[in-house]
Amino acid sequence: MPIRLLGDAVLRRRARDIVEQLGWASTYDAEYVALTQLQADALVTLDAKLARSVKGIVETASIDALL
Protein backbone atom coordinates (compact mmCIF):
# COMPACT_ATOMS: atom_id res chain seq x y z
CA MET A 1 0.00 0.00 0.00
CA PRO A 2 1.52 3.35 -0.98
CA ILE A 3 1.94 5.89 1.81
CA ARG A 4 2.20 9.61 1.19
CA LEU A 5 3.86 11.66 3.93
CA LEU A 6 2.68 15.25 4.27
CA GLY A 7 4.58 18.02 5.96
CA ASP A 8 2.83 20.02 8.65
CA ALA A 9 3.18 23.19 6.59
CA VAL A 10 1.26 21.70 3.66
CA LEU A 11 -1.58 20.56 5.92
CA ARG A 12 -1.77 23.88 7.78
CA ARG A 13 -1.76 25.89 4.56
CA ARG A 14 -4.58 23.78 3.08
CA ALA A 15 -6.56 24.02 6.33
CA ARG A 16 -6.25 27.83 6.27
CA ASP A 17 -7.48 27.85 2.66
CA ILE A 18 -10.53 25.81 3.69
CA VAL A 19 -11.23 28.12 6.66
CA GLU A 20 -11.18 31.12 4.33
CA GLN A 21 -13.34 29.36 1.74
CA LEU A 22 -15.99 28.31 4.26
CA GLY A 23 -15.76 31.28 6.62
CA TRP A 24 -15.01 29.16 9.66
CA ALA A 25 -13.54 30.71 12.81
CA SER A 26 -10.92 28.00 13.47
CA THR A 27 -8.97 25.31 11.68
CA TYR A 28 -10.10 22.48 13.98
CA ASP A 29 -12.48 20.81 11.50
CA ALA A 30 -10.60 22.24 8.53
CA GLU A 31 -7.53 20.18 9.40
CA TYR A 32 -9.55 16.96 9.10
CA VAL A 33 -11.01 18.18 5.81
CA ALA A 34 -7.58 19.22 4.52
CA LEU A 35 -6.07 15.86 5.42
CA THR A 36 -8.96 14.09 3.72
CA GLN A 37 -8.48 16.21 0.62
CA LEU A 38 -4.72 15.82 0.49
CA GLN A 39 -5.01 12.05 0.87
CA ALA A 40 -7.76 11.92 -1.80
CA ASP A 41 -9.97 10.07 0.63
CA ALA A 42 -13.50 10.36 2.03
CA LEU A 43 -14.33 12.11 5.29
CA VAL A 44 -16.20 9.76 7.61
CA THR A 45 -18.20 11.71 10.15
CA LEU A 46 -21.28 11.49 12.34
CA ASP A 47 -21.55 15.29 12.24
CA ALA A 48 -24.29 16.00 9.68
CA LYS A 49 -23.63 19.75 9.78
CA LEU A 50 -19.94 19.23 8.97
CA ALA A 51 -20.81 16.80 6.17
CA ARG A 52 -23.21 19.35 4.62
CA SER A 53 -20.72 22.20 4.90
CA VAL A 54 -17.93 20.35 3.06
CA LYS A 55 -20.16 19.04 0.27
CA GLY A 56 -18.35 19.67 -3.00
CA ILE A 57 -14.99 20.02 -1.25
CA VAL A 58 -14.44 16.42 -0.17
CA GLU A 59 -16.42 13.24 -0.48
CA THR A 60 -18.15 12.27 2.75
CA ALA A 61 -19.28 8.90 4.03
CA SER A 62 -21.25 7.63 6.98
CA ILE A 63 -19.78 5.40 9.66
CA ASP A 64 -21.75 2.54 8.11
CA ALA A 65 -19.51 2.74 5.06
CA LEU A 66 -16.66 1.37 7.18
CA LEU A 67 -18.57 -1.75 8.19
For the entire predicted model, the pTM comes to 0.84
The 10s digit of each residue's pLDDT in 7-50 is: 689 999 999 999 999 999 999 999 999 999 999 999 999 999 99
| Interatomic CA distance for residues 48 and 50, integer angstroms | 5
- What pLDDT, on a 0 to 100 scale, did the predictor assign at position 3? 65
